[in-house]
């Protein structure tokens, strides 16, 4: 049976879920599962852990019903949930990983690719402080507004702007990414 709630807004879906409509929750899940999974993978670095985070995130969301009231965009609401669960899962898994397991996961360095390769961009992003990288990815990968980022991270808007500015400046100054910026 086709899902009849595909075109409904998140707010309309939440109202339906609050009224007991299970198919509306499935629509909300389908709408955000890929976003949650990719975000969780970014935090955990593991596809299996990302699946665990995905499950825990939607279990948490389901527990909010009935009576849930969405006061921001769904991604703004879900971001801190996914982040918290991901960091908890990652921390728990690191405590139980032996040195041999960690060594077996290390791969040989890849051969140097072209100057504008994705691997160089990833390397540059990896040296950014966590707070700057997080804001940069939220803005340009997750396409969140500055206000949504501030709400999701529970920090002042000025802090978001500052972190984004410093991250972009660092990318402008790095020889590997300088070509992506207009002079």
Please, which residues have CB within 8 angstroms of residue 124's CB and are 6 or more apart in sequence? 171, 174, 176, 177
Residue among 33, 38, 61 nearest 49 (CA): 38
Flag whether pLDDT at 104 surpasses 50: no
Q: What CATH number did the domain enclosing 47 receive?
A: 1.10.1740.10
Domain span including residue 49: 1-96
> Which range has the top average pLDDT, 93-97, 169-173, 179-183?
169-173
Taking only the tens place, the pLDDT of each residue in 14-65 is 999 999 998 999 999 999 999 999 999 998 888 999 999 999 999 999 999 9
- Of 87-96, 120-129, 156-165, the least confident: 87-96
Q: Tell me, what's the pLDDT at 8?
A: 84
Say if 106 falls within a structural domain.
Answer: no
| pTM for this predicted structure | 0.67
Same domain for 89 and 159, yes or no, is no
Instruction: Give the tokens for residue 36.
Output: 């949650």
């Amino acid at each position: 049976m086709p899902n009849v709630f595909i075109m409904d807004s998140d707010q309309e879906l939440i109202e339906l879920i609050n009224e007991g409509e299970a198919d509306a929750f499935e629509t909300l899940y389908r709408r955000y599962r890929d976003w949650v999974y990719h975000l969780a993978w970014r935090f955990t670095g593991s596809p299996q852990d990302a699946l665990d985070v995905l499950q825990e995130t939607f279990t948490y969301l389901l527990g909010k019903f009935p009576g849930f009231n969405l006061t921001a965009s769904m991604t703004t609401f879900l971001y801190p949930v996914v982040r918290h669960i991901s960091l908890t899962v990652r921390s728990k898994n690191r405590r139980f990983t032996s040195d041999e397991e960690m060594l077996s996961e290390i791969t040989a360095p890849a051969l140097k690719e072209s100057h504008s390769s994705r691997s160089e961009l990833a390397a540059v992003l990896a040296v950014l402080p966590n707070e700057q990288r997080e804001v940069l990815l939220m803005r340009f990968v997750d396409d969140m507004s500055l206000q949504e980022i501030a709400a999701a991270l529970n920090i002042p808007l000025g802090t978001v702007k500052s972190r984004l500015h410093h991250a972009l400046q660092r990318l402008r100054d790095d020889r590997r990414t300088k070509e992506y910026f207009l002079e």
